[in-house]
């Protein structure tokens, strides 16, 4: 596969190169791409240096797959141009997620919807992926009615500028601000921009994307997204009301048997998921599994994952792996 990694100099792009190398994705030619200001710089893939090229140069090289992690505007402008020359685009931005003509894919849940016709495929939001992976097997078994989620999101979810802001604040150095307030020793109930309904865009992604991924509008999600000064991954407190009652042992078993999920749940040994341990792992960790004692058929859980891995790069590479395995890429269609 000739693979373009668009946004190769960014937080997600850097992890993307790492994940592609670790999983030994079949790459015959790697094309790292970033903005005009990075052309000529180098990135490392499998210990070798590769030179960053611009968008048009990458298109002219006719890649089989382009994995975009370069923001919504870049994606809206450039993804169709890659698709036009036959490249399959897997996009990490929010640009195409709710477009009814584009698939929104978490491979463990709905990769089977993909066909050779899908030229732009959307990767869900990081906080959605980890939540929906845990909800999917429970929804199948007990039928969700309503989810209430509060997130505790890492600064790495905002990109390199936000990580720099936190590092500067810890070091006591003045620098560019990615957030409107200090983030060190703080919690900002503000992830992404505010929408007209008073919710942030991140909160509305958590509300809308699970319905599309699970292809079901009969349940609803209410979200509050909060940025905290962690670096390893996003955490979520999730309260789920089901139509049907559940058994906690069966809930743990269902989660344990779900590919990509690791159950870490033992109050006797203080075992529960935390971002410092989820960091650099591909799994989604679930713990604090308990019954909500204030109303029937309702469950509480704590879900943690590395937002740059399963929340972005790993999920995108898993989609690419599925496309190759099922021969859904132009070069492989017989
Ligand atoms: N961080 C996360 O946890 C996460 C999770 C899921 C999805 N995402 C999505 O992934 C995307 C990247 O996020 P990030 O956190 O990696 O951001 P980031 O660290 O700020 O990196 C942005 C990348 O995009 C490139 N870029 C910017 N404008 C471009 C243009 N006009 N043409 C080509 N490349 C351009 C940048 O290149 P230069 O270095 O040349 O500026 C850089 O490589 C965003 O859409 C974000 O919503 C992020």
Residue 156 CA to residue 11 CA, distance in Å, equals: 7
pLDDT in tens, 52-100: 999 999 999 999 999 999 999 999 999 999 999 999 999 999 999 999 9
- Burial per residue of 224-255, b for 16 or more beta-carbon CB atoms within 10 angstroms, e otherwise: bbbbbbbbbbbbbebbbbbeeebeeeebeebb
| pLDDT one-digit tens code per residue, 256-292 | 999 999 999 999 999 999 999 999 999 999 999 999 9
d(CA 327, CA 334): 8
3-state secondary structure at position 233: coil
Ligand 1: atom nearest CA of 38 is: 40
**At 81, phi and psi to the nearest 5?**
-70, -35
Instruction: State whether the beta carbon of 15 lies less than 6 angstroms from ligand 1.
Output: no
Q: What is the pLDDT of residue 128?
A: 98
Per-residue pLDDT band at 333 (split at 50, 70, 90)? low
Q: Is 182 in the pocket of ligand 1 (CB under 6 A)?
A: no
User: What pLDDT is stored for residue 330 in this prediction?
Assistant: 75
pLDDT at 332: 72
Q: How far apart are CA 188 and CA 170, in angstroms?
A: 17
Instruction: Name the DSSP class of 53.
Output: B
Quick check: pTM over 0.85?
A: yes
Q: How large is the average pLDDT for residues 167-196? A: 98
The single residue of 126, 139, 191, 279 carrying the catalytic annotation is: 126
**75: Cβ–Cβ under 8 A, 6 or more apart, which residues?**
68, 91, 93, 95, 96
Give the pLDDT mean for 220-227. Answer: 98
154 CB near ligand 1 (under 6 Å): no
| 279 carries an active-site annotation | no
**Is position 190 annotated as part of the catalytic site?**
no
């Amino acid at each position: 596969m000739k693979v373009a990694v668009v946004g190769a100099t960014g937080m997600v792009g850097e992890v993307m190169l790492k994940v592609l190398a670790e999983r030994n994705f079949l790459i015959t030619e790697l094309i790292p791409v970033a903005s005009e200001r990075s052309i000529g710089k180098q990135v490392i893939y499998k210990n070798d240096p590769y030179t960053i090229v611009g968008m048009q140069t990458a298109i002219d090289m006719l890649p089989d797959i382009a994995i975009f992690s370069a923001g919504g505007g870049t994606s809206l402008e450039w993804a169709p141009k890659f698709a036009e020359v036959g490249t399959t685009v897997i996009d990490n931005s929010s640009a195409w997620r709710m477009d009814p003509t584009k698939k929104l894919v978490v491979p463990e849940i709905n990769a089977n919807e993909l066909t050779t016709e899908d030229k732009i495929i959307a990767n869900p939001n990081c906080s959605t992926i980890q939540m929906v992976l845990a909800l999917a097997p429970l929804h199948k078994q007990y039928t969700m009615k309503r989810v209430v989620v509060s997130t505790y999101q890492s600064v790495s979810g905002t990109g390199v500028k936000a990580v720099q802001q936190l590092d500067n604040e810890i070091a006591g150095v003045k620098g560019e601000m990615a957030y409107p307030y200090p983030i060190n020793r703080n919690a900002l109930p503000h992830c992404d921009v505010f929408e007209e309904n008073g919710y942030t865009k991140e909160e509305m992604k958590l509300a809308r994307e699970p319905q599309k991924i699970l292809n079901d509008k009969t349940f609803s999600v209410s979200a509050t997204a909060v940025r905290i000064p962690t670096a390893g991954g996003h955490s979520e407190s999730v309260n789920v009301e089901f139509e049907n009652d559940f058994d906690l042992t069966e809930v743990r078993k269902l989660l344990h048997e779900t590919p990509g999920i690791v159950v870490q749940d033992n109050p006797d040994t203080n075992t529960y998921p935390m971002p410092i341990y989820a960091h650099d792992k591909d799994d989604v960790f679930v713990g604090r599994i308990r019954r909500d004692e204030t109303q029937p058929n309702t469950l509480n859980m704590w879900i943690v994952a590395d937002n740059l891995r399963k929340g972005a790069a790993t999920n995108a590479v898993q989609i690419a792996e599925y496309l190759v395995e099922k021969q859904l890429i132009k070069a492989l269609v017989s």
